[in-house]
Structure 1
Amino acid sequence: MIRTRRSTSLSTRRLEAFTDGVFAIAATLLVLDLTDHSLGTVDSDAQMWAALGDMSLLFFNFGLSFVLLCLLWRVHVQQFEYVERVDAVAIWLNNARLLFIAFVPFATNLTTEYSDFVAGRMAMPVSFFLAILCSWIQWQWMARHAEVMLPKLTPTDAAAFGGGSLSALLISAAVVVLSPWIGSWAFLLFLLDGVLSRVLRGSGGRNADAGSRDGADRGRSTG
């Protein structure tokens, strides 16, 4: 009896569902920092407004983490529009990313409660940097196996998507570097993501085109 070898690649359906669930839970858990915070004794509207004003950093970090999670989820959705199959390496790289996504609510709490300390100010930036790093490595892996995992994309398009992901990685690294001095305000660097992403997407596409032409020239010269 001849045994057929199973394919080493899998459908992305359940991986996407699991990833969506982790992102949704992490974003929802962020609100616990708000609900667990006590306003203290409130006897007037003035005291109420003052107590809410004292929560300004908490509100800022809550909104910031929520928006960043939404942006990372959007990138995930956009990328997986083109992913047909995944292998074990891609799955575990995705799990590594979700490890840091799940850590974001705790890191956000640390940054809010211990912003007077360097470790506290760096908690959020480091968590997002590691999540983005895992996402970038995952895309690079899938682009190396594009014939199986990304059959809808040309090498040029795959390289362009990688350039866009590299933009977020570089900015998040800069945020980590600046966070000991300016804390969560360093995340405002992500406002530059659109410009840097377009630059890197363009350079990635040109490099891929050059590589494709070189390969074609070598093929003709040996033919």
Structure 2
Amino acid sequence: MSTLVTGSKEHAIAEFQRLRKYLLGSDALKKLWLKLSPTEQAKLGGSLRVAHHQIGTAIPVWFHLHPTNTQTRTVVELAVKLFSYPIDEAEWLLRELGELPTDEEEAQRVAIERGDLVILRTSQSVFLDRELQPIEWGRKYMIWDFFLTSCERAKAGQLIDRSCFGDRVYQNVVSDRLNKLGDVPGFPDELIMRYEEAGLQTQRFNYPAHRIHIFDD
């Protein structure tokens, strides 16, 4: 086992800064580009030159593809992907810097134990303050989708407006679905209170992005 794995938080910060400095170089972006799928490359403009000009180095490019990542997780994921950074050291870095583990089941467990807002897509389960919320979604699929979209937008630092729900939605779709969300049996008032007006027919789900976790259960 690497000696880094037993290091202090100060060691973790120093190691993170070392990795970040390397990833800001042009060589890292070139290596990343070769590992991306054609679909991912297309999302970045279709060429390395365009991606570098319009987005930047490897870190913002990876963040562009994974907008709900934190910078810490982005750096660690890139280190593993680009130069086979040891998994045990990656887990140590994530742990010391306050991130969830890479293993999804363990990440779910840790996030729930921390009291974060945890959403499981398939089962439509919502955990808050370490408890599974007794929400009765029933057949309210559009309202579930509204809440899920709210969480995704909050993680990405984005607002919620009608464009989030397609081209053919009615003008007041956001306020209407927010009102209906508040009427869903068992939906926490604490989460309803997190919505804030942010413009005409626009809302912000003001929940800390680093405390929202969405899993495909």
What TM-score comes out, normalization by structure 1 length?
0.27
Q: Larger C-alpha radius of gyration, 1 or 2?
A: 1
* Structure having the larger proportion of residues in helix: 1
* Structure having the larger proportion of residues in strand: 2
What TM-score comes out, normalization by structure 2 length?
0.28
